[in-house]
Amino acid sequence: MSAREPILRIENLSVALPAGLDRAYAVQDVSLDVHRRQIVCVVGESGSGKSVTASAVMRLLPEKVLRITGGTIRLEGEDIAAATPARLCELRGNRMAMIFQEPLTALNPVMRIGDQIAEVLRIHRPEMTRERVSERVVELMADVHLPDPSRLARAYPHQLSGGQRQRVMIAMALALEPALIIADEPTTALDVTTQAQILRLFRELLTKHDSGVLMITHDFGVVADVADHVLVMRQGEVVERGAPDRVLNAPEHPYTRALIEAVPRFRYRTEPALDDKPVLAVEELSLTYRTTSFLGSRRETRALDAVSFRLSPGETLGVVGESGSGKTSLAKTLLRFETPDTGHILFKGRDIAGLGGVELRQMRRHIQMVFQDPYKSLNPRRRIGQSLIEGPVEHGTPRAQAIDRAEELMELVGLRRDALDRFPHEFSGGQRQRICIARALAMEPSVIVADEAVSALDVSVQAQVLRLFDDLQKQLGFAMIFVTHDLRVASNICDRIAVMQRGRIVEIGPSRRVFLEPEADYTRELLAAVPGFAREAAAG
């Protein structure tokens, strides 16, 4: 096989959907090549068929539901469709490997990391000696820059960070030096700084192992950083392809343009005048998680360390940082799902840090939360209407009045009134998040805490929900604490930004100032890691 021949060649691939759906094909007439040392990115929103394409290459489609109806997939010249099950097993791992989005669920929780990597080798390379296998495992772990490989090989998945777990997944994929690596949203579950490292790693390993990568992503920042070639998919069809510079800067297809438009850019709000009377004042808040192990040894984790800030009425304060920085702990503590060790949470001058029982329940209507995952934060067994009026009725609003208000709220968040009679599973992710926002608003709160409220949504939906937050805030005037790991999103919606690291606020100030003239080193690190940030900053 010559070096110029592509590793993967997909020609006119079509995958049929079962009859009776909104469209006949999950993937229609898709062609693409992946060459050696090349990263090909397939971009699209949920339902665009990008993951189906990836699964088709691995022959991982549920064949009764999704049938390949046309086209060929050739891996190094070999037709995948014609491969016998035995041959497929050889190909998977040996010649092609897949890396999944969520590295925690893709690893066996009760098996040591080293053993999991070794298993791949033992199955596909039975001739290797035990010593050789363990040597190779350590080599691989060093290749993906895991610290202290020989010690880490004895660790279990839960003892690793998200980024480390993804590195382990990559090490497993690389174990047999496959020609093709398929990566399905490999960095979506990771922090920006970790994401940047993993993307660098992909590039480095590609050169070292002479392989090609087919990367599925929804993030144009990722595309800008690593892609050699981009395909944009929409409803199963490729609408645009080309070099990333061309596609990103001069998109030809209107859909590509719309998608790129929807990506939040750094955009700053005008600085608000700070009110003397904060709606929420947090003083020296500290929270420690204590865990006692089976043998009685205690571990303490400082989740919040003397956190102080003030929130003015109508203001939005962004809380950003990596995972483990304490931003979610802060949200939970403000909602009083956690009780702080020390410090005060003054809501309109009243300390709520130590409230309990009925007093706490009374208080809760004033501070409401919008959760990250709209698929989990609505009770699947209750109608939307029931969920919406539950809180107000509990706090003494007459039922009829609560229902009227719920109908108004539905329209306010852009849904139809009759949505109240339906169940959560009848709505898309974006619609559910609107419902969750309506549920929070039904309580007429003074403060809304949004914990990664748009992180689980597609970019175009994300943009809509952000706009909704903005509009509602102007109309209703609540203050908001917006927790997010996405700095672009934060710059769009927040008046001020608090940067957290290891339970402390390392920097707090107006968004524009924090992002354009960061004072703390950590803020600079965070900004540098945002995919495409340098490019955007240069462009102004």
Beta bridge partners of 498: 319, 508
Note whether 247 binds other proteins by CB under 8 A: no
- Within 422-520, residue ranges assigned H as helices are 429-442, 459-476, 487-493, 511-516
Least distance (Å) between residue 378 CB and other proteins? 6
**H or E segment at 370?**
strand 367-370
Least distance (Å) between residue 311 CB and other proteins? 18
Site for other proteins in 104-163 (CB under 8 A): none
Note whether 339 binds other proteins by CB under 8 A: no
Note whether 398 binds other proteins by CB under 8 A: no
Record the tokens describing residue 100, joined without a space: 């999944």
Note whether 192 binds other proteins by CB under 8 A: no
Stretch that binds other proteins, among 81-89, 144-152, 367-375, 506-514 (CB under 8 A): 367-375
Least distance (Å) between residue 412 CB and other proteins? 18
Instruction: Determine contact, residues 447/366, Cβ cutoff 8 Å.
Output: yes
Cα–chain center distance at 103: 12
Stretch that binds other proteins, among 145-153, 221-229, 279-287, 387-395 (CB under 8 A): 387-395
Least distance (Å) between residue 97 CB and other proteins? 18
Give the residue, chosen from 21, 86, 400, 539, that forms a contact with other proteins under the rule CB under 8 A. 21
Q: What is the DSSP string of 32-47?
A: EEE-TT-EEEEE--TT
Least distance (Å) between residue 324 CB and other proteins? 19
Note whether 329 binds other proteins by CB under 8 A: no
Cα–chain center distance at 389: 30
Distance CA 309, CA 412 (A): 31
Least distance (Å) between residue 384 CB and other proteins? 12
Which residue lies nearer to other proteins by CB, 212 or 391? 391
Which residue reads 């809380």 in tokens? 319
Give the residue, chosen from 162, 391, 518, 531, that forms a contact with other proteins under the rule CB under 8 A. 391
Stretch that binds other proteins, among 55-63, 75-83, 129-137, 224-232 (CB under 8 A): 55-63
Which residue lies nearer to other proteins by CB, 261 or 394? 394
Site for other proteins in 25-54 (CB under 8 A): 26, 44, 46-52
Which residue lies nearer to other proteins by CB, 37 or 59? 59
Record the tokens describing residue 20, joined without a space: 């009776």
List all residues 6 or more positions away from 305 whose beta carbon is below 8 Å from its beta carbon: 286, 326, 502, 503, 504
Site for other proteins in 263-322 (CB under 8 A): none
**H or E segment at 283?**
strand 280-292
Least distance (Å) between residue 440 CB and other proteins? 9
Instruction: Determine contact, residues 55/67, Cβ cutoff 8 Å.
Output: no
Note whether 6 binds other proteins by CB under 8 A: no
Beta bridge partners of 247: none
Note whether 379 binds other proteins by CB under 8 A: yes
Record the tokens describing residue 295, joined without a space: 């043998």
CA trace torsion 425, 427, 428, 431 (10° rounding): -130
Which residue lies nearer to other proteins by CB, 143 or 451? 451
Note whether 335 binds other proteins by CB under 8 A: yes
Which residue lies nearer to other proteins by CB, 480 or 506? 480
Note whether 443 binds other proteins by CB under 8 A: yes
Locate the DSSP E strands across 46-168. Answer: 67-75, 78-79, 96-99
Residue (of 372, 22, 46, 28) closest to 216 by Cα position: 46
- Maximum Cα–Cα distance across the chain: 77
Which residue lies nearer to other proteins by CB, 46 or 342? 46
Give the residue, chosen from 59, 365, 502, 513, that forms a contact with other proteins under the rule CB under 8 A. 365
Least distance (Å) between residue 372 CB and other proteins? 8
Q: How many CB atoms lie within 10 A of CB 302?
A: 16
Distance CA 456, CA 22 (A): 23
Distance CA 478, CA 462 (A): 20
By CB under 8 A, name the binding residues for other proteins: 17-18, 20-21, 26, 44, 46-52, 55, 61-62, 65-66, 101, 184-185, 335, 337, 360-365, 368-369, 371-373, 376-382, 390-391, 394-395, 423, 425-426, 436, 439, 443
